[in-house]
Amino acid sequence: MGRLAKRLFSSMLACVLGTAANAQTGASVPAAGGAASGAGECPSWLQHKIGKLHSDQTLDLCALTAGKAVLLVNTASFCGYTPQFKGLEALYQAHKEQGLTVIGFPSDDFFQEADAEAETADVCYINYGVTFPMTSAIKVRGRNAHPVFRHLHEAGQPTWNFNKYLVDRNGTIVEHFGSNTAPDSAALSAAIDRVLSEPVR
C-alpha cells in the first residue's frame, strides 16, 4: 500500500470519528455584519489577499468575490471527506457562469493536510481536477484563525474539514453547512439557486 493510500485509510477513520461533531447541515444564520456597501463591491471581511496554493501568485479575495455568490470551504487532502472536491468542482462548473465562485482554504487544523503544498496541489488539481481558486494553507479555527474565518465563525466555527459557508452577492453569510452535507445535496443546491436568483443590493 503506497504512502498516499495509507494516509487516506487512516484519515478516513479519523473522519468517521469526527462526523458526530459535524451533524449541522443547512443551518440558517442571521444577516451578518460587514456586507458590501454597493453593487459590485466586496464586504470588508473579504478585503484580503492570500497566497495561491503552491504558487508565487496571490489571490485577491475582493476581486474574486465582488458581486458574486460565494461558497467558502475549509479543505484537507487526507480526510474521508476529501472526495467532496469532485462535487465542489461540479458545482463550480455548473454555476460559475451564473455568478457563483467556490474558494477552497486548505488547513491542517484537524491534522489531515499534507505537510507540503506540492502534495496538497497534487490531490486537488491532479486527483480531483479542481479549477476553482485554492489558497495557501491557513488556520480556520481559534483565535489565530484567518480574518475571513473569524468572520465566518458568526455562522459557526468549523469543527471538521469541508464545512461550507454560502455567502450571497451582497457579502452576507446565508447558510453554514457541515461536513456531512455533500456538494450535490438538495439543501445546498436549493440554497445556491436561491442566492443566485437574488439581485445585488
Q: So what's the pLDDT on residue 34?
A: 52
Active site residue 79: yes
Identify the bridge partners of residue 102 per DSSP, sorted by sequence position.
Answer: 71
Q: So what's the pLDDT on residue 20?
A: 45
Supply the CATH classification number for the domain 3-197.
3.40.30.10
pLDDT in single tens digits along all 201 residues of the chain: 554 444 544 454 444 444 444 444 444 444 344 555 454 578 999 999 999 999 999 999 999 999 999 999 999 999 999 999 999 999 999 999 999 999 999 999 999 999 999 999 999 999 999 999 999 999 999 999 999 999 999 999 999 999 999 999 999 999 999 999 999 999 999 999 999 999 877
Q: So what's the pLDDT on residue 201?
A: 76
The candidate with the shortest Cα–Cα distance to 29, out of 187, 144, 177, 137, is: 177
The one catalytic residue among 15, 42, 79, 124: 79
Q: So what's the pLDDT on residue 83?
A: 97
Q: So what's the pLDDT on residue 199?
A: 82
Q: So what's the pLDDT on residue 86?
A: 98
What are the DSSP calls for 54-122, one per residue? Answer: TSS-EEEHHHHHTTSEEEEEEE-SSSTTTTHHHHHHHHHHHHGGGTEEEEEEE--TTS-S-SSHHHHHI
pTM for the whole structure? 0.84
Give helix 186-197 / helix 84-95 axis angle, nearest 10°: 30
Q: Is 184 helix (H, G, I), strand (E, B) or coil?
A: coil
